[in-house]
Amino acid sequence: MRQARDRKTAAHIRAQGKLVIVIAAVLQTAGIKSMAEFAALLGTFAVVAGEANPREGEILAYWAAMVREGALAGSGDPHPGEPTP
């Protein structure tokens, strides 16, 4: 029973992370904030939130990593958002 609940929880966290990627992509397309910048902001928020609730911080950090991976995949640039030499 617990394993089924854990799998369901993990699926919810992954699905919500994918929604966060879509939101980041919309913000980038609208020229509001790049996905890399959004990922960095979310990562900072994860650290702050994690001080009060470590589990929430872990989830937010996971989402930040998902967005960062999405930014990397979409740009072909290993360091999106950083100036090119």
**Does the pLDDT at position 84 exceed 70?**
no
* Residue 10 maps to a domain: yes
Helix 35-52 × helix 2-29 angle, to 10°: 140
* Residue 80 maps to a domain: no
pLDDT at residue 75, rounded to an integer: 60
**Does the pLDDT at position 26 exceed 90?**
yes
* Residue 82 maps to a domain: no
pLDDT at residue 1, rounded to an integer: 75
Number of structural domains (the chain) is 1
* Residue 61 maps to a domain: yes
Q: Cβ distance 81 to 41 under 8 Å?
A: no
Q: Which domain holds residue 24?
A: 2-75
* Residue 83 maps to a domain: no
* Residue 38 maps to a domain: yes
pLDDT in tens, 48-75: 999 999 999 999 999 999 999 999 887 6
**Does the pLDDT at position 36 exceed 70?**
yes
* Residue 7 maps to a domain: yes
